[in-house]
Amino acid sequence: MAEIGEPGEIKCAIGLMSGTSMDGVDAALVYTDGVRVERLGPSLTLPYSSEMREALKEAIRIASASAIPVDTPAEIKLIEQELTDWHAEAVYELLSVTGQKSETVDLIGFHGQTISHRPERGWTWQIGDGGRLAGQTGIKVINDFRSADMAAGGEGAPLVPIYHAAMFARAQRHKTVAVLNLGGVANVTWLSFEDSETEPKMLAFDTGPGNAVLDDWAQLHTNQNYDENGNLSARGISHEEVVMGMMATSYFDDPPPKSLDRDDFNTQAVRGLSAEDGAATLADFIVESVVAAQSHFPVPPEAWYVCGGGRHNATLMRRLRRRMPVLVDPVEVLGMRGDALEAEAFAYLAVRSERGLASSFPQTTGCESPTVGGTAHLPKQRRRLVR
């Protein structure tokens, strides 16, 4: 397989990610040629205001009520501009931390915010104005990473596995590993380094619900946006019959590639339970969906490494360790940054896009052949907006 590619010139790239949990913009600086990761620069998270989170939820509501849009509704265009401005501020903050000027950065990889993901209809919708971001920062921006994959028959997700492969090749401790991203939706990358003479084998797919269902439940019953440290779910009793009912959906038996929208799973099944019992039951549902994912692996992994916000949930991590027959640890034990990994990945993917290297593969998204993603936007002028 010549999927990862040949080494090239090292670029300085900033990756930006706003995930399905909608808690803020993650920004990370990466020095890479899109094949090797030479080194990692600083990273940070710029939290959204409550008003911005509500605006993004409104965009998702509008998108979910829409057919495939021909033109972006005016309300979403306004939210997109505001979202882009938040990302510009995250770039300024990161440059401030590093003491760098925009001229020293080659590229920005800009994921944007997913407001609808419907692979069964052949479309996915991320908002974020790449041209506006390029104009504000004075840096070349690459965005729209998913459309080319879907045009090639892929699911449009997940896109991070090729970065997982690069990072875990550097930190190789096991022949076979599973990298679990516990974001708003959970996804896994299975990697095999069995043959050291070839590039790693990859398989990736969304396992099922992630933090989104717990976040929604916590917001409904507490004054918090999420189940902090898993404290709410730790105090509850899981209702096994409810978990079994939620696991009865055909999604978990469907073979990969497969991917989900944020709201494909919700809290309806636990309505009527106490706040604590509902959280405990949802936590077990998340864990059981991850356990079920193992049936799709070619061979069992020797270890699981966890990134994403869910690894901060002690209840989820404790229950995962109880249900898995092998090591389960956060990626930090390997020297990686679990909160920044996806932002780093989009810096890496931006460099790959510029070099014409594929970001998605038949075994990760189901595309017909390895596909290069991304659309480039060159800065015409630089105009900083003061928030």
231-279: per-residue pLDDT in tens? 999 999 999 999 999 999 999 999 999 999 998 999 999 999 999 999 9
Split at pLDDT 50, 70, 90, the class of 2 is very low
> By the 8 A CB rule, do 302 and 326 touch?
yes
In angstroms, what CA-CA distances link 366 with 115, 126, 154, 190, 338?
A: 22, 20, 5, 15, 26
Split at pLDDT 50, 70, 90, the class of 384 is low
Note the pLDDT of residue 6.
87
Note the pLDDT of residue 380.
81
Note the pLDDT of residue 85.
98
Among 323, 326, 265, 331, CA closest to 290: 323
Regarding whether 207 and 135 lie in a shared domain, the answer is: no
Distance CA 90, CA 126 (A): 18
| Residue at token pair 């890479």 | 32
For residue 158, whether the previous peptide bond is cis, meaning omega lies within 30 degrees of 0, is yes
Among 116, 128, 124, CA closest to 88: 128
Regarding whether 310 and 367 lie in a shared domain, the answer is: no
Regarding whether 304 and 230 lie in a shared domain, the answer is: yes
CATH of the domain at 253: 3.30.420.40
Token pair listed for 60: 């998702």
Distance CA 376, CA 9 (A): 18
Regarding whether 232 and 372 lie in a shared domain, the answer is: no
Split at pLDDT 50, 70, 90, the class of 387 is very low
In angstroms, what CA-CA distances link 149 with 129, 235, 256, 261?
A: 20, 43, 15, 16
User: Within a domain: residue 323?
Assistant: yes
Note the pLDDT of residue 72.
83
**pTM (2 d.p.):** 0.94
> By the 8 A CB rule, do 106 and 11 touch?
yes
Residue 366 has pLDDT above 90, yes or no: yes
Number of H helices, E strands in the chain: 11, 13
List the alpha helices (DSSP H) in the chain: 50-64, 74-98, 130-137, 147-151, 161-170, 211-221, 231-234, 240-246, 275-293, 314-323, 341-355
Regarding whether 23 and 140 lie in a shared domain, the answer is: yes
User: Within a domain: residue 382?
Assistant: no
Residues with Cβ within 8 Å of 228's Cβ and at least 6 positions away in sequence, in order, are none
Distance CA 385, CA 387 (A): 6
Distance CA 91, CA 17 (A): 11
pLDDT tens by residue, 78-122: 999 999 999 999 999 999 999 999 999 999 999 999 999 999 888
Regarding whether 70 and 50 lie in a shared domain, the answer is: yes
Regarding whether 139 and 16 lie in a shared domain, the answer is: yes
> By the 8 A CB rule, do 163 and 345 touch?
yes
User: Within a domain: residue 3?
Assistant: no
Among 193, 207, 192, 157, CA closest to 346: 157
Note the pLDDT of residue 294.
97
Regarding whether 218 and 148 lie in a shared domain, the answer is: no
Residue 1 has pLDDT above 70, yes or no: no
Stretch 301-325: mean pLDDT:
97
Stretch 147-160: mean pLDDT:
96
pLDDT tens by residue, 343-362: 999 999 999 999 999 999 99
Q: What is the mean pLDDT of the chain?
A: 93
pLDDT tens by residue, 268-296: 999 999 999 999 999 999 999 999 999 99
Regarding whether 327 and 236 lie in a shared domain, the answer is: yes
Number of folded domains in the chain? 2
Regarding whether 107 and 194 lie in a shared domain, the answer is: no
Residues spanned by the domain of 214:
172-334
In angstroms, what CA-CA distances link 355 with 11, 28, 94, 237, 345?
A: 11, 20, 25, 52, 15
Token pair listed for 99: 């003491």
Regarding whether 214 and 284 lie in a shared domain, the answer is: yes
Note the pLDDT of residue 70.
63
Regarding whether 185 and 274 lie in a shared domain, the answer is: yes
Stretch 12-37: mean pLDDT:
96
Q: Which residues pair with 37 in a beta bridge?
A: 32
User: Within a domain: residue 39?
Assistant: yes
